[in-house]
Amino acid sequence: MADLTKGEREPILQVRNLVKHFPLTQGILFKKQVGAVKAVDGISFDLYRGETLGIVGESGCGKSTVAKLLMSLERATSGEVFYKGQDITKLSGRALKAVRRNIQMVF
C-alpha cells in the first residue's frame, strides 16, 4: 500500500468555524440578553486517521467547551463538525449515540 499524503486522503474529523457563545441575561421574569460570553469563537481543524489532537491553553480558554461541542453535549451557536464526512451537529437519538461510540475525549 502506498503512503498517502494528507491531500490524498479524507480527514476523519473536520471542524469548520465552530462557535459557542453563552448568553448573558438580566432580569427575573422577563429575561433580556445583555451580552454573551464567547467561549469558542471560530475554531477550525482537520484530524486524520492515526493522528491525535491535543488542545492546550490556560484555564477558561474554551478547551472543555470544544470537547463538549465535538461530542454534541453542548449545541454550537454556529459551525460544522463532520465525522467521516457526516455532519454530526444535526444528529440526535440513536444516530448521535452511534457516533459517540467512536469518539473519545480525555480531560
Provide the domain limits for residue 81: 6-100
Q: Report yes or no on 106 lying in a domain.
A: no
> According to the model, what pLDDT value does residue 30 have?
84
Q: Report the domain count for the chain.
A: 1
Measure the CA–CA gap between 84 and 101, rounded to whole angstroms. Answer: 13
Q: Report yes or no on 49 lying in a domain.
A: yes
Q: Report yes or no on 96 lying in a domain.
A: yes
Q: Report yes or no on 32 lying in a domain.
A: yes
> According to the model, what pLDDT value does residue 5 have?
58
Residues 6+ apart with CB under 8 A from 67: 55, 105, 107
Measure the CA–CA gap between 22 and 35, rounded to whole angstroms. Answer: 9
Q: What is the CATH number of the domain that holds 42?
A: 3.40.50.300
How much is the pTM? Answer: 0.79
> According to the model, what pLDDT value does residue 7 have?
53
Q: Report yes or no on 26 lying in a domain.
A: yes
Q: Report yes or no on 70 lying in a domain.
A: yes
To which H or E segment does residue 95 belong? helix 93-100
Q: Report yes or no on 107 lying in a domain.
A: no
Q: Report yes or no on 36 lying in a domain.
A: yes
Q: pLDDT tens digit string along 74-106?
A: 999 999 999 998 888 888 889 888 888 888 787
Strands (E), 1-107: 13-26, 32-47, 78-83, 86-87
Look at residue 13 and tell me whether its pLDDT is greater than 70: yes
Q: pLDDT tens digit string along 18-63?
A: 999 998 888 888 888 888 888 899 999 999 999 988 999 999 899 9
